[in-house]
Amino acid sequence: MATPVVLQLPGWRNSGPDHWQSRWEARHGDVRVQQHDWEWPRRGDWMARLDDVVQAQQRPVVLVAHSLGCLLVAAWASVSRHTARVRGALLVAPGDVEAEDGPVPPLPGWRPIVRERLPFASILVGSQNDPYCTLARAQALARDWGSDWVDIGPRGHINAESGLGDWPEGRAWIEPWLHGAGAAGPA
């Protein structure tokens, strides 16, 4: 069985060099799905780009999404004919674009958040003090998407400022998908 390609799906404004996604890309050879516009993302454009990248892979894929990337996975999975190519998805710190008083400006086209159950295994990792999504909202998204839920405590937006470094604990959650097994679930 072929080892999957790990596709990194950063959120709004991309992930900088100290972000765990960038570190995984450098360390493990993951593939970042590059978007045309990181500053003013359009959901349809991002979905089309993800579909193109998934189709271009010669192997199955594991999706690793952060923030707006989590919402991208849900929206893409609701319409794509290529979801069977996904072994699993790690969804980290989803951004709540529906929050009226949140720190993200309104991003046209991203509301409402697609809340259909994902057609592949997934783990959603949330933080108790994420300024971009309350713990209750993240837990609700995990339920709606059928994702295993992981609360990693007060780690902010689970980004470079969270001090995770290479974040080996996060990487461990995708290892079963990389080696052909079903999701082991969070430990």
Average of per-residue pLDDT across 126-135: 96
DSSP letter at 102 equals: S
For the chain, what is the domain count?
1
Task: State the DSSP H helix or E strand holding residue 31, giving kind and residue range, or none if neither.
Answer: strand 31-32
Chain-wide mean pLDDT for the chain? 94
Is residue 139 assigned to a domain? yes
Is residue 184 assigned to a domain? no
Beta bridge partner(s), residue 31: 7
Q: What is the pLDDT of residues 24-82, one digit of tens each?
A: 999 999 999 999 999 999 999 999 999 999 999 999 999 999 999 999 999 999 999 99
Number of alpha helices (DSSP H) and beta strands (DSSP E) in the chain: 5, 6
Q: What is the pLDDT of residues 143-187, one digit of tens each?
A: 999 999 999 999 999 999 999 999 999 999 999 999 986 544 444
Is residue 38 assigned to a domain? yes
Cis peptide bond prior to 112, omega within 30° of 0:
yes
Alpha helices in the chain (DSSP H): 20-28, 43-56, 68-77, 135-145, 168-178
Residue 85 has phi, psi (to 5 degrees) of -80, -5
Per-residue pLDDT band for 127 (boundaries 50, 70, 90) equals very high
The rounded distance, in Å, linking the Cα atoms of 93 and 157 is: 6
pTM greater than 0.85 (yes/no): yes
Is residue 98 assigned to a domain? yes
Q: What's the CATH code of the domain at 160?
A: 3.40.50.1820
Is residue 57 assigned to a domain? yes
Is residue 168 assigned to a domain? yes
Is residue 185 assigned to a domain? no
Pairing of strands 122-126, 61-66: unpaired
The confidence score (pLDDT) of residue 182 equals 55
Q: Which domain holds residue 82?
A: 5-178
Is residue 186 assigned to a domain? no
Q: Which residues contact 165 (CB under 8 A, 6 or more apart)?
A: 20, 23
